[in-house]
A and B are shown apart, each in its own frame.
Chain A
Amino acid sequence: MSTFSFRTRPKASEEKSLAVSHLSRAITVNGVLDTDGELRIHGHVLGRVNAERLVIAPGGSVEGDVVATDALIEGRLNGRIFAINVTLESSAEITGRVFHNTITVARGARIDARMPWRPPSYFETLDQLPETRE
C-alpha cells in the first residue's frame, strides 16, 4: 500500500509538469522546433519555434518566429513572438514584433520592436502566422 502511494504521486506530478527540452550553449539548430512542452534555449536557433513554454536564456539567441503560451526572453531574438504571456528580462535584446496578451518588460531590456496587444482568442487560432514582415 505504501509503495502504491509512492508510485502514484510522482506520476501525477509528471503529468502536470511539462517535458523539458534543453539546448545547451554549444548547440546550433537550423530548422523547425515543435514541442508541447518546455523548451530552454541557451544556444542558437535559426528557424521557427513552437512551444508551450519557451525560455531564451542569457546568451541564447533565436532568429525567426516563435509561438508559445509563455515566453521568457533573457537572450536575443530577431523575429516575431506570438505568446499570451511574454516576459522580457533586462538582458533581452528583441528586434521585430511581440504579439502578446500580457507583457512584462524589465528595465534595461533592449527592444526594437512593435508590441501589439491581442486578445487570447487570437492566439488560439494561430495556425498560420500572419505576414507582417516589412
Chain B
Amino acid sequence: MTMFNRSDKPADAPDTTRVQTPAPAPEPVRPQPVSQPMASAARPSSSTGVSVISRALKITGQLESTEDIRIDGEVDGDVRGVSVTVGNGARVKGTVYGDAVELAGTVDGKIEAKKVVLTGTARMTGDVVHQDIKIESGAFIDGHLKPEFGKSDGKSKAASTPRPVEVKQPV
C-alpha cells in the first residue's frame, strides 16, 4: 500500500494533474469519421466495379484499370480503362485510352477509343482516334478526328475482324 502512495503528495495535487493531463491530448479533432470507414469498408461489393475519381480528387500520374473508370475530378496524366467516363466538370490532361470513352468534361490531350461519345458539355483539345464516334450539339473540339482506332497498332487485338486463321486449336 505504501508503495503506491509515492512520497508525500498532498491529497489534492494528483487531482489537478489528473484533470489537466487529458486536456492537452485533443483527440476529438474529428471523432466521428473514425467509426464510419470501418462500416463502409466492410462492404464487399465495393471491391469490384467502377473506379470513381471524385470531384475532390486530383491525381498526378497514370491510371490503369482492367475495369471501368469514372472521372469527376482532375487527372494530370494518362488514363487507361475499359469504359472511361469523364464527367461534366472533370479535367484530364493526357491521353485517355479505352474501349468506350464518354466525355462530358474537358480533355487536353488525346482520346483513343473504339467508341467515343462527346456530349454537349464536352471540351476536347487534341486528336480523337476512334472507330465509332458520336458528337452531340454543343461539344467543343479542337483537333483531328481520326477513324483509325485498331488499324495501326491494335491490329492483333482487333476483335471486329475475326479471321479463320486465328482459330488455332491445340493438337
Contacts and interface: CB of A to CB of B under 8 A. Distances in A.
Instruction: State the main secondary structure of chain A at its contact with B.
Output: strand
Interface in A21-50: 21-40, 42-43, 47
B21 interface: no
Interface in B68-92: 69, 73, 77
Interface stretch (B40-48, B103-111, B149-157): B40-48
Contacts of B25: 101, 119
Nearest to A74: B41
Nearest to A35: B57
A69 B46 CA distance: 22
A90 interface: no
A23 B46 CA distance: 9
Interface string B40-73: 1100001111111111111111111111010001
Interface residues of B, number: 38
A56 to B, nearest CB: 9
A32 B62 CA distance: 9
A70 interface: yes
A31 B60 contact: yes
Contacts of B55: 19
Given A27-B64, A29-B63, A120-B26, A38 B37 contact: yes
Nearest to B65: A27
Contact of A18 (B41, B56, B73): B56
Contact of B62 (A31, A39, A52, A69): A31
Interface stretch (B1-9, B11-19, B28-36, B117-125): B28-36
7 contacts: A19-B54, A20-B54, A21-B56, A26-B67, A29-B63, A40-B40, A84-B30
Closest 3 CB pairs of A and B: A31-B61, A37-B56, A27-B65
Given A55-B41, A85-B34, 13 more contacts: A26-B51, A29-B61, A29-B62, A30-B64, A36-B56, A43-B65, A53-B36, A57-B41, A59-B47, A69-B29, A69-B33, A70-B33, A84-B29
